[in-house]
Chain A
């Protein structure tokens, strides 16, 4: 059978496939994880991803924008997979999640900098688990006998001391909102936001009683209603995903700027262009200038080292 292309779109997932004699390329978009943030469509080098607003039905909460991928444009490169802050896209070759753009350094990895020092953890505490708005944290406690402990408070003080706490974060799905960090009293968790930026709400333009942005925001508590009955933002937990901006009915009522993305260093045209689309021209230029400065510094350093080595000889 010849090369076969297929596309299946269900409520739960969008699946794109190329089936060749020996190779099977598959892209899966998990619609439950997708929050309609549009970042994938900005990153896509082939402009294959489009977004579609779901029309609003009266009195119902607003729905996130729907992502669609054009099978004729998609080349299964995996840029969307890498970029998605919520890890909703997976691209596989013959079932293996092994992206060539990463191994060949054609695209950087987004750094989800989450450090957890379980030594600091209070033994009874499961605050982070409950704090995570996406249920990505799992706290497990193991007693001295190696068996999981159900209720720490019932243990003897010695037993309590011996309890080992592990905190597992499903990193690939984590948008780094820092909600867990704020809730962690002993300061055991430190999260660095992968995307930095600014969000501004012009309350003057905000329509009375509109809750659309709050409805779609993936991080509970980021967007709230203030005393004026208008939407206000708590930037501490905002991931600058842009899902709110995509559904906002009034232009300019909600403005989002992304300024920086935390990523591994690569030389890649694809990334430079994706960055420009995601954070805007000026911020992308900043990164490039910084990188160029780095390069210059390295060159100068190298020269000093060589000169010093010569001196030592």
Chain B
């Protein structure tokens, strides 16, 4: 559907580019120019040697002014190459930049059909005709602008979040840090030393934590939860719940007198439950903000703390959760990770044998400020262990648990063994059972060598089980030394398990609230794994640290700064510009079914009960999936309207449709792949007629039905690879669901299955694209023109019926 055109007189100008000999060398450009003149509403045709060069652009400007052109078609290279250039050119000449279309006759004709210039010229003519058919229906669009709140929210105050906050605050922006636990600092604050320099962890992180608390631009909401996030890039409204501490932060001086008065202790989670804390306490001495909290699960309400607090009057047992709303322009998600506790690996005996600990627990044991005061002791008898076995990859690189490598376990185990050797010299025997030692970082391999020189025994092999002597509580580790190929048994006094790092508990909730997607391992997914590793698929949301994949401290810190910089690109602007290629709901046509809300990959569609759906302009990325899904045709994607695409389909199939392969290509992967086929001069049959859409999710059933009704030889949809390549998160899945059902129907009605295909082509698979086209072309030749025509005749009534029902 499309809005009715204003009754204006169309004046279309066509510019045919020679591109030196790149186009003119294969294609008869004059024939194209002459052909263009015969098409309706074309009032001006011009050939240029190089349209993109300055003289070429000036000619376009001059023609728009002199000939009063109101539509422009440029037959030249791929729009992925020069569309932005010509948009500017057209705008300079005073024409709306969305009233121009490119016909790709270089990558899609001259370069890929060099062996058959005649066919190439035919394809180029059709391409120009399709472009003109589309441009006739185009409408002027204005780039949208939304105001920006120049504040940022950091979710998670670990080392990555702290760095992001400090960087943004230093640039002058107001920053809120939302932290779930009672203190910022994250895992790093619980560590003893950091590899490979063996710096004291809290000594280097502590000052940064304090900086955050002191910075006038930073507000910390600790002990708080994220409840809701509304809005879009530049304009998020975030609801935060401050959970009660039962202590008034403004009045608490952090003196700790209440703690001394408190009679109740409970296991301290910060100490991995190895030590205890008081029912009124801070999780650790360097906590920021230094505000005590009462844990009502354990408090017996004797009010001794209130007595001790006295005139400071900081304790308030009647505190209730408080909800606050902050408005921010950008969000940095830095929620971090959790440590896997291998209770479900009974062969390792964790939870059963007292002397089997995880690395994180070992970290608290060796830490001077830890519950044992830095003494490594066994739980069973309180003695120092003389033989310690470290077991790597517990849960990680394990198909039945977590298939990925947890990134930093090798390094922290090396840190632990070096620390032990430094502390106990030759009074300790250390065995490390590993699969591979991975040390890809600055000075990491050198650190590994240091551990080897200290006399640590590295044994390559996966541990099959651990047995315990019930009397001495000593442990026997059963493994295989894969380097000599023999089973091996080592008796140890203590076993340390380097367990996997896993996605933070609650990241599913965060993903739901912020509308983020998660990969198969549960970590947040980037907008692009290579080129946008910090950006979330939702504009204005960025990642820092381990929440989007495991990384060590230096990498988390740099990503924190990276996220700050990315967030600043949004909040430094007074306005945020949005491409107008977005979807719009026709409020009258909308049947309020809510299907689009489920299908939108960005959650950009909202609906009040019994009201028509509404698309939040700034959240819409313009994939067009909702348009294809809407059963009542109430949604239009600007610049890719149904009418425009229908026009292209009809123009493409005007002559000898049964020989044509009508192809819908998504802009980001398959169109680029087809471009690459041209750039690499892969010769393939010229029977292809390509229509560019932003996402394969835009390709509705009716386009395919219409193409087959018109007798197209074959219909091909090119999409990004499943599962994660789609530029719009999951538009390709939506297309797959839709086309799978349609293909079954069509095949049942009597269509040869090879006439409708869906192929996944990445931007790097030019050859693959050419192969597919060759294959389909061969299949069409085998089927024969007659067979296709007969099928079309047979299918036509059904297809017409389907179209009627659809519209």
Residues of chain A within 8 A of B355, CB atoms compared? 1
**Of the candidates B266, B351, B358, B371, which one forms a contact with A75 in the assembled complex, judged by CB atoms under 8 Å apart?**
B266
Q: Is the CB of A4 within 8 A of B351?
A: yes
Is A173 an interface residue, CB under 8 A from the partner?
no
Residues of chain A within 8 A of B303, CB atoms compared? 267-269
Residues of chain A within 8 A of B267, CB atoms compared? 3, 18, 20
Contact flags B292-322 to A (C-beta < 8 A → 1, else 0):
0000011011111001000000000000000
Interface of A is mostly: loop
Q: Is the CB of A46 within 8 A of B300?
A: yes
Q: What is the bound-complex CA distance between A105 and B276, given in angstroms?
A: 21
Q: Is the CB of B300 within 8 A of A79?
A: yes
**Of the candidates A18, A75, A106, which one forms a contact with B302 in the assembled complex, judged by CB atoms under 8 Å apart?**
A106
Least CB separation from A267: chain B residue: B307
Contact flags B335-355 to A (C-beta < 8 A → 1, else 0):
000000100000000111111
**Of the candidates B304, B351, B379, which one forms a contact with A268 in the assembled complex, judged by CB atoms under 8 Å apart?**
B304
Residues of chain A within 8 A of B273, CB atoms compared? 2-3, 20
**Of the candidates B353, B354, B372, which one forms a contact with A22 in the assembled complex, judged by CB atoms under 8 Å apart?**
B372
Least CB separation from B382: chain A residue: A22
Q: A2-B351, A101-B263, A106-B263 are in contact. Are A23 and B276 (CB under 8 A)?
A: yes
Pick the most buried of B275, B341, B350: most chain A CB atoms within 10 A of its CB. B275
Q: Is the CB of B353 within 8 A of A1?
A: yes
Is B356 an interface residue, CB under 8 A from the partner?
yes
Residues of chain A within 8 A of B353, CB atoms compared? 1
Residues of chain A within 8 A of B358, CB atoms compared? 2
Q: What is the bound-complex CA distance between A271 and B301, given in angstroms?
A: 9
Shortest CB-to-CB span from A296 to chain B, Å, is 19
Q: Interface size on A (CB < 8 Å)? A: 29
Q: Is the CB of A21 within 8 A of B261?
A: no
Q: Is the CB of A77 within 8 A of B365?
A: no
**Of the candidates B263, B275, B304, B357, which one forms a contact with A77 in the assembled complex, judged by CB atoms under 8 Å apart?**
B263
Q: Is the CB of B274 within 8 A of A21?
A: yes
Q: Is the CB of B274 within 8 A of A3?
A: yes
**For chain A residues 2-50, which have a beta carbon within 8 Å of chain B?**
2-4, 18-23, 45-46
Residues of chain B within 8 A of A267, CB atoms compared? 303, 307
Interface of B is mostly: loop
Shortest CB-to-CB span from A141 to chain B, Å, is 43
Q: Is the CB of A1 within 8 A of B302?
A: no
Q: Is the CB of A104 within 8 A of B262?
A: yes
**Of the candidates A1, A103, A269, which one forms a contact with B301 in the assembled complex, judged by CB atoms under 8 Å apart?**
A269
Q: Is the CB of B264 within 8 A of A75?
A: yes
**Of the candidates A21, A23, A75, which one forms a contact with B300 in the assembled complex, judged by CB atoms under 8 Å apart?**
A75
Q: Is the CB of B261 within 8 A of A273?
A: no
Residues of chain B within 8 A of A2, CB atoms compared? 272-274, 341, 350-351, 357-358, 361
Shortest CB-to-CB span from A236 to chain B, Å, is 35
Number of A-B contacts (CB under 8 A): 94
Q: Is the CB of A268 within 8 A of B266?
A: no
**Of the candidates A1, A18, A75, A101, which one forms a contact with B350 in the assembled complex, judged by CB atoms under 8 Å apart?**
A1
Q: A1-B379, A21-B371, A75-B266 are in contact. Are A270 and B274 (CB under 8 A)?
A: no
Q: What is the bound-complex CA distance between A98 and B352, given in angstroms?
A: 29
Pick the most buried of A18, A104, A105: most chain B CB atoms within 10 A of its CB. A104
Q: What is the bound-complex CA distance between A118 and B272, given in angstroms?
A: 56
Q: Is the CB of B302 within 8 A of A269?
A: yes
Least CB separation from B355: chain A residue: A1
Q: Is the CB of B300 within 8 A of A45?
A: yes
Least CB separation from A24: chain B residue: B379
Q: Is the CB of A106 within 8 A of B300?
A: yes
**For chain A residues 216-269, which have a beta carbon within 8 Å of chain B?**
267-269
Is A100 an interface residue, CB under 8 A from the partner?
yes
Interface residues on B, range: 35 or more
Q: What is the bound-complex CA distance between A104 and B307, given in angstroms?
A: 12
Residues of chain A within 8 A of B365, CB atoms compared? 21
Least CB separation from B273: chain A residue: A3
Shortest CB-to-CB span from A265 to chain B, Å, is 14
Q: A1-B350, A77-B263 are in contact. Are A22 and B302 (CB under 8 A)?
A: no
Least CB separation from B353: chain A residue: A1
Contact flags A83-111 to B (C-beta < 8 A → 1, else 0):
00000000000000001110111110000
Shortest CB-to-CB span from B114 to chain A, Å, is 69
Residues of chain B within 8 A of A22, CB atoms compared? 274-275, 371-372, 377, 382
Pick the most buried of B267, B272, B275, B377: most chain A CB atoms within 10 A of its CB. B267
Least CB separation from A18: chain B residue: B267
Shortest CB-to-CB span from A162 to chain B, Å, is 49
Q: What is the bound-complex CA distance between A109 and B264, given in angstroms?
A: 17
Pick the most buried of B272, B353, B379: most chain A CB atoms within 10 A of its CB. B379
Contact flags B237-279 to A (C-beta < 8 A → 1, else 0):
0000000000000000000000001111111000011111001
Shortest CB-to-CB span from A16 to chain B, Å, is 14
Q: Is the CB of A45 within 8 A of B354?
A: no
Q: What is the bound-complex CA distance between A45 and B352, given in angstroms?
A: 32
Q: What is the bound-complex CA distance between A106 and B300, given in angstroms?
A: 9
Least CB separation from B364: chain A residue: A21
Shortest CB-to-CB span from A169 to chain B, Å, is 28
Residues of chain B within 8 A of A99, CB atoms compared? 263
Q: Is the CB of A1 within 8 A of B357?
A: yes
Residues of chain B within 8 A of A268, CB atoms compared? 302-304
Least CB separation from A269: chain B residue: B303
Contact flags B320-341 to A (C-beta < 8 A → 1, else 0):
0000000000000000000001
Least CB separation from B295: chain A residue: A75
Q: What is the bound-complex CA distance between A269 and B304, given in angstroms?
A: 8
Q: What is the bound-complex CA distance between A104 and B371, given in angstroms?
A: 22
Residues of chain A within 8 A of B361, CB atoms compared? 2
Q: Is the CB of A101 within 8 A of B300?
A: yes
Q: Is the CB of B354 within 8 A of A1?
A: yes
Residues of chain A within 8 A of B379, CB atoms compared? 1, 19, 21
Least CB separation from A73: chain B residue: B297
Q: What is the bound-complex CA distance between A100 and B265, given in angstroms?
A: 10
Residues of chain A within 8 A of B298, CB atoms compared? 46, 75
Q: Is the CB of B304 within 8 A of A20?
A: no
Pick the most buried of A23, A271, A273: most chain B CB atoms within 10 A of its CB. A23
Residues of chain B within 8 A of A3, CB atoms compared? 267, 273-274
Least CB separation from B357: chain A residue: A1
Q: Is the CB of B263 within 8 A of A1?
A: no
Least CB separation from A46: chain B residue: B300
Shortest CB-to-CB span from B262 to chain A, Å, is 7
Least CB separation from B300: chain A residue: A45
Q: Is the CB of B302 within 8 A of A271?
A: yes
Q: Is the CB of A45 within 8 A of B301?
A: yes
Residues of chain B within 8 A of A23, CB atoms compared? 265, 275-276
Shortest CB-to-CB span from A7 to chain B, Å, is 16
Q: Is the CB of A107 within 8 A of B302?
A: yes
**Of the candidates A1, A19, A75, A104, which one forms a contact with B304 in the assembled complex, judged by CB atoms under 8 Å apart?**
A104
Shortest CB-to-CB span from A278 to chain B, Å, is 15
Residues of chain A within 8 A of B300, CB atoms compared? 45-46, 75, 77, 79, 101, 106, 270
Q: What is the bound-complex CA distance between A104 and B261, given in angstroms?
A: 6
Pick the most buried of B264, B307, B353, B357: most chain A CB atoms within 10 A of its CB. B264
Residues of chain A within 8 A of B350, CB atoms compared? 1-2
Q: What is the bound-complex CA distance between A311 and B245, given in angstroms?
A: 51
Q: Is the CB of A20 within 8 A of B275?
A: yes
Residues of chain A within 8 A of B307, CB atoms compared? 267
Query: Nearest 8 CB-CB pairs, A to B?
Result: A3-B273, A106-B302, A45-B300, A100-B263, A21-B274, A269-B303, A270-B302, A104-B263
Sample (8) of A-B pairs whose CB atoms are under 8 Å apart:
A3-B267, A22-B377, A45-B300, A46-B298, A75-B298, A100-B265, A106-B302, A267-B303
Known: A20-B267, A270-B300. 14 other contacts (CB 8 A): A1-B355, A1-B357, A2-B361, A3-B267, A19-B354, A19-B379, A20-B275, A21-B365, A22-B377, A23-B275, A100-B265, A105-B304, A268-B302, A269-B302
B-side interface residues toward A, CB under 8 Å? 261-267, 272-276, 279, 297-298, 300-304, 307, 341, 350-358, 361, 365, 371-372, 377, 379, 382
A-side interface residues toward B, CB under 8 Å? 1-4, 18-23, 45-46, 75, 77, 79, 99-101, 103-107, 267-271, 273
